[in-house]
């Protein structure tokens, strides 16, 4: 067994155990293997090891790898490409053309660009809205640091999401968040809990839209995220090792 294969199996076992602790079926959790910075050869080996869900941070890197793997394996290789990092306007065409799920939609302007391109190509793109509930100014995402107590913020958020939800080609499926680094576990857990609660509030406020998917958790915190309701976990180092 290759190292990637055995690490992947280990992460899957930890996912199953975390789901059991939370009384959830493990098959409602998708493990996204974050292959950013790794060369195409590593992704091909991962594919041979059974990995089909790949996550990339940069749109140009996702596009290049998607094209290379399609050339090697064919268009029907069953790979799902996850754009997990935020996208700048001028790169949005790459995401519209190559991503299968975009986890980090963080403003209406990008949504508009994506939608325009999707209408041109006839493609559909499921998206998750990245939310910043920890209030850290360094973090991307819709500013939701005080969503529970700030009614004006909720109003703006609801309107902006409603606008995005009506754009052709895009379909909102849920939320994505990143926990702060180097903080005690209760704080990480709190960020995941508050994200799940925000998804619940949005589902009530905007019943025409879908907020059922929660992309939360990385190598260091995916088990906590699963206990708090994650349906997608984005795991890089625990599968591929430390990035160069
Ligand atoms: C790199 C990255 C991950 C994976 O991080 P690891 O610590 O390697 O598991 C997850 N999500 C996003 C948005 C990332 O950029």
Residues 105-127: pLDDT tens digits?
Answer: 999 999 999 999 999 999 999 99
| H or E segment to which residue 7 belongs | helix 3-21
| C-alpha–C-alpha distance, residues 232 and 34, integer Å | 12
pLDDT at position 1: 64
Angle at 121 between CA 117 and CA 208, to 5 degrees: 70
For residues 34-56, one letter each, b for 16 or more C-beta atoms within 10 angstroms of the residue's C-beta and e for the rest, the string is: bbbebeeeebebbbebebebbbb
| C-alpha–C-alpha distance, residues 170 and 58, integer Å | 20
Pair of tokens at residue 136: 């850290």
Pair of tokens at residue 234: 């984005």
Mean pLDDT of 170-181: 96
| C-alpha–C-alpha distance, residues 192 and 228, integer Å | 6
pLDDT at position 145: 95
pLDDT at position 138: 79
Above 80 in pLDDT, residue 244?
Answer: no
The binding-site residues of ligand 1, defined as CB within 6 angstroms of any ligand atom, are 34, 36, 57, 84-85, 218-219, 234-238
DSSP-assigned states of every residue in 157-197: HHHHHHHHHTSTTEEEEEEE--PPSS--HHHHHHHHHHHHH
| pLDDT > 70 in the chain, percent | 100
**Closest CA to ligand 1's atom 12:** 84
104 Cα nearest atom in ligand 1: 13
> Which residue in the block uniquely carries the two structure tokens 């399609």?
70
Instruction: Measure 55 CA to ligand 1 centroid, in angstroms.
Output: 9
* Average confidence score pLDDT of the chain: 97
pLDDT at position 152: 97
Residue 135: which pLDDT band, with cuts at 50, 70 and 90? confident
Mean pLDDT of 154-168: 98
Instruction: Measure 171 CA to ligand 1 centroid, in angstroms.
Output: 23
* Residue 91 Cα to chain centre, angstroms: 18
**Phi (first) and psi of residue 241, to 5 degrees:** 90, 180
What does pTM read for this prediction? 0.97
DSSP-assigned states of every residue in 43-85: HHHHHHTT--EEEESSHHHHHHHHHHHHHHH-TTS--EEEE-S
């Amino acid at each position: 067994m290759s190292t990637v294969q055995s690490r992947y199996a280990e992460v899957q076992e930890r996912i199953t155990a975390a789901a059991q602790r939370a009384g959830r079926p493990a098959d409602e959790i998708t493990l996204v293997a974050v292959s950013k910075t790794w060369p195409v050869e590593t992704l091909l080996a991962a594919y041979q090891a059974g990995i089909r869900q790949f996550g990339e941070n940069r749109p140009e890197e996702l596009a290049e790898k998607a094209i290379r793997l399609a050339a090697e394996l064919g268009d029907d290789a069953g790979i799902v490409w996850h754009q997990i990092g935020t996208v700048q306007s001028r790169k949005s065409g790459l995401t519209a053309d190559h991503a299968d799920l975009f986890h980090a939609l963080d403003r209406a302007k990008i949504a508009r660009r994506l939608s325009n391109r999707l209408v041109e190509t006839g493609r559909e793109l499921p998206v998750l809205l990245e939310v910043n509930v920890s209030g850290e100014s360094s973090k991307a995402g819709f500013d939701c640091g005080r969503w529970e107590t700030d009614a004006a913020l909720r109003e703006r958020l609801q309107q902006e999401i409603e606008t995005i939800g009506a754009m052709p080609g895009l379909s909102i499926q849920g939320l994505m968040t990143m926990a702060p680094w180097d903080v005690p576990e209760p704080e990480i857990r709190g960020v995941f809990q508050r994200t799940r609660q925000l998804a619940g509030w949005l589902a009530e406020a905007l019943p025409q839209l879908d907020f059922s998917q929660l992309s939360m958790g990385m190598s260091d915190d995916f088990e906590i995220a699963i206990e708090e309701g994650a349906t997608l976990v984005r795991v890089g180092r625990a599968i591929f090792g430390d990035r160069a």
